Structure 1
Amino acid sequence: MPETINLELRGGDFHAEVATAGKGAPLLYLHGAVGQKGWAPFLDLLSQRFTVYAPLTPGYGSATGLEHLADLTDLTLYHLELLNELGVTRAHVVGHFLGGMIASEMAAFSPSSIDRLVLVSPAGVWRDEEPVADLLALNANELSERLAATPGVAASLDGVAAELDRDRMQDIAAAGKFLWPLPDKGLNRRAYRIKASTLILWGEQDRINPPSYVDDFRKMITRSQTGTVANAGHLLMLEQPEAFANAVAAFLS
């Protein structure tokens, strides 16, 4: 079982809650916009090889300070500060959707802080002809139908139904501050600064963030490779935890 680290940042403006477990090279896991946050079985698998840190993004759960973040740059700098507060000077970073967006920016803003990078269905680019799903426009049933590879399966995944019922509106409101009206905040202008070897990973049946976006990230990030997880949608880390953890661990190792 993970332990929980509680930290106060910037004189108490932020309260951070970080679940951690394992031994080995540090790995920072940044959760997505909705459907999964905190600890989960795939993190247990990764903690067998790495020291995993899984913080809650400000505005999620008991993590406070969202009102002190004006934009994605603020959110990125916050996470770099959080690494420092954890005593980690350099880490592997794995981020899903919103977390992948943050991870990309961390790697561009502070290349020396990032060892290897795994972007899991990351947000951050946009095509008018193939838009990312508008999570704000989907009701609970519609969202649940689209989060997994097979309609209706998401509700049966570990903790997803309870999380959607309890936290959906809070989580989407927090994510919306950085993802909407469009998730494209100009990463393409900064991606040349990303020096970390990068794995771009997608669920083959992602119906929230189209898998075709993998090509945009591959073209932006010089030292990148791509991979897919079969029989998985947007929540690939919950649908196929062993395949996901194995793919990440193999790349990082």
Structure 2
Amino acid sequence: MRRQWVRHRRQPRHRARSVEGGSDQESARREPDGAPADRLDAARAGPREHRALRPRSAAGPARHLGRRALGEPLVARAAATTRGGAGGGRGCGGRGVIETQERTVTVWQDRVRIRVLSKGHGPALVFFHGPWGLTWDPFLDELARSFTVLAPEHPGTTPEAHDDIYHLDGLWDLVLCYDELLEVLGLESAVFVGHSFGGMVACEVAAAYPARARRLALLAPLGFWRDPDRIINWMMLEPGELRRHIFHDPECDAARRMFPPSDAHDATAAARVRMVWAMGTTGKFIWPIPDKGLKKRIHRVTAPTLLVWGKEDRLVPAVYADEFTRRLQSGRVQTVDAAGHAPHLEQPEKVARLVRDFLSQ
């Protein structure tokens, strides 16, 4: 796909602006004028619990939040603000249960929109998803029992903002973009959890900004390359092959959800298209070789780190866990039986327990 760089370039602005209302989101995003929004004093903005996002009513459209989101409550407890769903999807839950929320935040001089899903209560936990897109799954539900989970979609993987990826030239731009996101969310620090490419991103953010990460839990992360143990380029695999490489059991429920049959209904087919698009978008930061120099920076990570690897990982061999523990200041490894490259999807309760116990120390 040919990138139309010129078409997407605009004059930069000094800082992100809050966009009130959803019907004029695109026109507001492209508006070149306007004074920058002033930062609000978080102490005067109401509840201090994870200053970030104001809940919206069920009838109101999604809002783009810039710097003015500071000081506003992160997770809404009203059922009217939920998204429907079942089986571990977005919005699953019952009466009296904190539901999955969705907000869109603008960063990078108002040129990049990032949708953030959130749920739970407790200390802030930022989850960086893998290369196949973000889906709220049972693993995140388990973590939301003890933490306020914030799960941002990587720039460009959100369908309504797919062309925003053209404003980021490389991995370093992405790291800076996430630093801005954390600032807008009002999070000076949080615990980071990342899977695959998301684990690489979490580690890079923690290396660039050590004070941002209190603890790290990395699930089969990318970041290194060893010629004897090459990582398979999943961009070159057919869907059936990819399914067998991601999962130890390609017929498990998680695999069936990620790879529905070709005759599935339209909504499922659309989800499959989003997954393929996410692969291409995140591939910009991964390939041709998923080693962008992390080994030169990882010594800057000061947070205690847990590495979780499926014993049957066919994409990123478990031997890479040794590379991480050898270079990290404080790292430990837990391997998971009967799991491949997505241990948190195949064994959600077990992996969530490992992560929760480590992060709570």
Band the TM-score falls in, shorter-chain normalisation: over 0.9
Matched, 1:166 2:273: yes
1:115 is paired with a residue whose SS is strand
CA change 1:177–1:187 in 2 (3 A) is same
Matched, 1:121 2:121: no
What CA deviation, in whole Å up to 9, does each residue of 1:86-109 have, x standing for no partner? 111100000001101101101100
Matched, 1:204 2:311: yes
Shift, 1:164, TM fit: 6.9
User: Hey, what's the Cα distance between the residues in 1 that align with 2:245 and 2:271?
Assistant: 13
User: Hey, what's the Cα distance between the residues in 2 that align with 1:69 and 1:160?
Assistant: 29
Tell me which of 151, 164, 171 is aligned to 1:54.
151
Structure 1 residue ranges (4+ consecutive) displaced by more than 6 angstroms after TM superposition: none
For the 8 Å contact 2:299–2:329, the answer to whether it is kept is yes
- Corresponding position of 2:171: 72
- Bigger shift: residues 155-164 or 228-237: 155-164
For the 8 Å contact 1:158–1:238, the answer to whether it is kept is no
User: Hey, what's the Cα distance between the residues in 2 that align with 1:81 and 1:59?
Assistant: 16
Matched, 1:13 2:111: yes
Shift, 1:29, TM fit: 0.2
Shift, 1:249, TM fit: 0.1
Q: How does 1:25-174 map to 2 (within 5 A)?
A: 25-34=123-132, 37-62=134-159, 63-64=161-162, 65-153=164-252, 156-161=255-260, 162=268, 165-174=272-281
- Bigger shift: residues 219-228 or 145-154: 145-154
User: Hey, what's the Cα distance between the residues in 1 that align with 2:344 and 2:109?
Assistant: 35
The count of residues paired between Structure 1 and Structure 2 equals 252
Structure with bigger strand share is: 1
- Bigger shift: residues 186-195 or 147-156: 147-156
User: Hey, what's the Cα distance between the residues in 2 that align with 1:131 and 1:193?
Assistant: 26
Shift, 1:123, TM fit: 0.4
CA change 1:72–1:101 in 2 (3 A) is same
Shift, 1:147, TM fit: 1.1
User: Hey, what's the Cα distance between the residues in 1 that align with 2:123 and 2:259?
Assistant: 29
What CA deviation, in whole Å up to 9, does each residue of 1:33-73 have, x standing for no partner? 12x51311111110110000001001213354211111111
Q: Which runs of 5+ in 1 are unaligned?
A: none
User: Hey, what's the Cα distance between the residues in 1 that align with 2:243 and 2:272?
Assistant: 10
Q: What is the identity percentage for the equivalent residue pairs of Structure 1 and Structure 2? A: 37
CA change 1:138–1:159 in 2 (3 A) is closer
Tell me which of 276, 289, 300 is aligned to 1:193.
300
Q: Which runs of 5+ in 2 are unaligned?
A: 1-98, 261-267
1:174 is paired with a residue whose SS is helix
For the 8 Å contact 1:232–1:239, the answer to whether it is kept is yes
Structure with bigger helix share is: 1
What CA deviation, in whole Å up to 9, does each residue of 1:120-162 have, x standing for no partner? 1000100111111101110111111211012444764444534
- Corresponding position of 2:350: 243
- Bigger shift: residues 160-169 or 138-147: 160-169
Larger Rg: 2
Aligned letter for 2:167?
H
CA change 1:39–1:151 in 2 (3 A) is closer
Quick one: higher RCO (CA 8 Å, sep 6+), 1 or 2?
Answer: 1
What CA deviation, in whole Å up to 9, does each residue of 1:168-209 have, x standing for no partner? 431121121111010111111111110000001111111111
For the 8 Å contact 2:108–2:177, the answer to whether it is kept is no
